């Protein structure tokens, strides 16, 4: 039989997923994203800056995000926004997540298939 086929990174990448999703709505900067995830999830999810910044850099390097400096109130911020590639990445990740979450939910609910 042999079970091959690998999980596309399984449960990893939730921060990445949420960041992409937030940036789909509007451009945001790192510090803002940290709080948006916290408040937007009713404090269920808390990712620190030590998670967000590296993800942001990685995504930009992959061409999923682009950034621009902007100074507001004497504060220098780096705003990130989605590129087309980022949009596709979001769509793919999002679909994978739904798939996975659905499967887990079924098994938890009483999958004795």
Partner DNA sequence: CTTGATACCTTGAACCGCGAGGTATAATAG
Partner DNA sequence: CTATTATACCTCGCGGTTCAAGGTATCAAG
Q: Which residues in this chain contact a copy of itself in the complex, by CB under 8 A?
A: 1, 3-7, 10-12, 14, 17-18, 21-22, 25, 34-35, 37-48, 94, 97-108, 111-113
- Cα-flanking dihedrals φ and ψ of residue 70, to 5°? -155, 135
In the window 49-78, what residues touch DNA (CB under 7 A)?
49-51, 53-58, 72-78
Site string for DNA, 14-53 (x = CB under 7 A): xxx------------xxxx--------------xxxxx-x
Residue 31 binds: one of a copy of itself, DNA, none (C-beta under 5 to 8 A by kind): DNA
Q: For residue 8, give the DSSP letter.
A: S
Q: Are 56 and 79 in contact (CB under 8 A)?
A: no
Give the number of other Cβ atoms within 10 Å of residue 31's Cβ: 14
């Amino acid at each position: 039989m042999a079970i091959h086929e690998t999980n596309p990174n399984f449960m990893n990448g939730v921060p990445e997923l949420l960041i992409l999703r937030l940036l789909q709505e509007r451009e945001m900067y790192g510090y803002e994203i940290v709080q948006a995830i916290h408040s937007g999830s009713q404090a269920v999810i808390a990712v620190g800056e030590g998670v967000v910044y590296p993800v942001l850099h990685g995504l930009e390097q992959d061409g999923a995000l682009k950034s621009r400096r902007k100074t507001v109130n004497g504060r220098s911020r780096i705003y990130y926004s989605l590129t087309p590639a980022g949009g596709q990445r979001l769509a793919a990740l999002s679909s994978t997540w739904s798939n996975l979450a659905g499967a887990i939910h079924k098994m938890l609910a009483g999958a004795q298939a």
